[in-house]
Structure 1
Amino acid sequence: MYRFLLTPRWWGINLFLLLSIPFCIFMGSWQLGRFEDRVQDHRTAAEQVSEAGREAPRPLGELLPVNKATSGKPVTATGRYGKQLLVPGRKLDGAQGFYVLTLLRTDSGRALPVVRGWVAGAADPAKAPAPPGGEVTVTGALQASETPGNNGVTAQGGLPAGQTAAISAASLVNLVPYDVYDAWVTLEKADAEMKAVPAAAPPDTGLDLKAFQNLGYTAEWFAFVGFVIFMWFRLLRREIEFARDAELGLVPDEEPVAADAAAR
């Protein structure tokens, strides 16, 4: 009754089963590993941000370019404040408001975006305190440039003059008349009546949608393993039933697949 297992068709079915199961297990394990890596990055980033406050500030040039290791580190820079912009749609402690972003022109000839603080309500230049005059030295947390879709940042289009959606050199290149560092700083102590903006975790280290997509893919790959095994047993049972019916003369002695094709 089980002689059909030696036919070429069943050799192909069995080979597919033997290859697909370990492949699905490998892919599921890989996706699970990606999720665990993101969880670990999230924990490491949180620890890094908490420990950064106990470190001594270092000159800006020593921490560039910004990466996962330097993001959130205390940094110091000296220069003169220049053009000021507003960054709308930013939440702090559950409230909606905007960042006050001022460009610090350094001796290098490039400008460093500095978030001097957060103000509640809709973005309004009248609510943004003017920056201090003369040469200033700022101390704050170094941050990586933002991109649309990261940290809730939206596209630049549609904003009024004097506002920017993302804090990055790419977004500011057409808004300010000088070169900008591909990084920014949030002050340790906010200027005037504004609230200080806490340092954010480095990009791609949070438990965002991508992380849970990896977890979902893990479940899918392991579900595929069960589906493949289920289909193999279903085909086997169908073949056995067909062979029994053929022995009893209830159906023509032919392959089930051929019979199905003829029925279609």
Structure 2
Amino acid sequence: MYRFLLTPRWWGINVFVLLAIPFCVFMGSWQLSRFEDRVQDHRTATEQAASGRAAAARPLESMLPVDKSTSGRRVSASGRYGKQLLVPGRELDGKRGFYVLTLLRTDAGKALPVVRGWLPGTADAARAPAAPAGEVTVTGALQASESPGSNGVAAQGGLPAGQTGVISSASLVNLVPDELYDAWVTLDKGDAGMKAVPASAADGTGLDLKAFQNLGYTGEWFVFAGFVVFMWFRLLRREIEFQRDAALGLVPEGSDRAPVPSG
């Protein structure tokens, strides 16, 4: 009864099934490993941020360029404050407000964007405290340049003079004449009564939409594998029923193969 499995038609079906199932399992396992990697990155970033707050500050230059291993680490830099900008539309403790961003011109001749703190309400230069004069040394968490869509950063255009929507060297290069570090620092303690802005995890280390997309794709690939097995058994059962009906003479003459199952 099962000799039909040796026909060219069933050879094709069997080869397809034998290739499709391992492929689906492999792809599902790969997507699962991607999700597990993101979970581990998130755990590592969280532990790093917690330990970084207690660790001794390192010189800025020794922690550049910013990557997953240095993001959130405490650094120190010395220089003089210069141009001040506001970063509107930033939330803290469930309230909407703005960052006060001041450029620190270091002894190396480059400018480091420093978030001195956060204030609630609409961005207003008159409300932003002036930066300390003279030589200062700042200590805070090192952060990578932002990009629209990362860490909740919105892409804002047409902002008034003295404001920027994204803290990055690419966005600030057109607003200040100084050469910029491709990084920024958020102070450990808010300056002049402002609230300190907590450090955020580096891009790609959070349990964001992409992480749960990997988990969703994992389920889809395993469902595909199960569907292939289900359809193979369904075709097999229909073929057996056809062979049985043919043996009993219930199939009209000239019918030499089972109909394709519907649905």
Residue in 2 aligned with 1:149?
Answer: 149
Residue in 2 aligned with 1:130?
Answer: 130
Deviation by residue 1:111-153 (Cα, 9 ceiling, x = unmatched): 0000000001121112211111111111111111111110011
CA shift for structure 1 position 246: 2.9
1:124 & 1:246 partners in 2: Cα distance? Answer: 86
Residue in 1 aligned with 2:90?
Answer: 90
Match of 2:257 among 252, 255, 258: 255
Residue in 1 aligned with 2:244?
Answer: 244
Residue in 2 aligned with 1:68?
Answer: 68
SS in 2 for 1:148: coil
**Does structure 2 conserve the Cα–Cα contact (< 8 Å) formed by 1:75 and 1:142?**
yes
CA shift for structure 1 position 208: 0.4
CA shift for structure 1 position 210: 0.6
Matches within 5 A, 1:1-264: 1-247=1-247, 248-251=249-252, 252-256=254-258
2:237 & 2:60 partners in 1: Cα distance? Answer: 70
- The answer for unaligned runs of 5 or more in structure 1 is none
CA shift for structure 1 position 255: 2.5
**Does structure 2 conserve the Cα–Cα contact (< 8 Å) formed by 1:34 and 1:214?**
yes
2:244 & 2:224 partners in 1: Cα distance? Answer: 30
1:187 & 1:175 partners in 2: Cα distance? Answer: 22
SS in 1 for 2:171: helix
Deviation by residue 1:156-189 (Cα, 9 ceiling, x = unmatched): 4232222111111111111111111100000111
SS in 1 for 2:80: strand
**Does structure 2 conserve the Cα–Cα contact (< 8 Å) formed by 1:156 and 1:171?**
no
SS in 1 for 2:232: helix
SS in 2 for 1:52: helix
Aligned-pair identity (%): 74
* Alignment size in residue pairs: 258
CA shift for structure 1 position 250: 2.5
**Does structure 2 conserve the Cα–Cα contact (< 8 Å) formed by 1:99 and 1:118?**
yes
Deviation by residue 1:45-98 (Cα, 9 ceiling, x = unmatched): 111111112211111110000111111111111111111111111111111111
CA shift for structure 1 position 249: 4.0
1:230 & 1:66 partners in 2: Cα distance? Answer: 50
- The answer for unaligned runs of 5 or more in structure 2 is none
2:255 & 2:3 partners in 1: Cα distance? Answer: 14
Aligned CA RMSD, in angstroms, stands at 1.3
CA shift for structure 1 position 26: 1.1
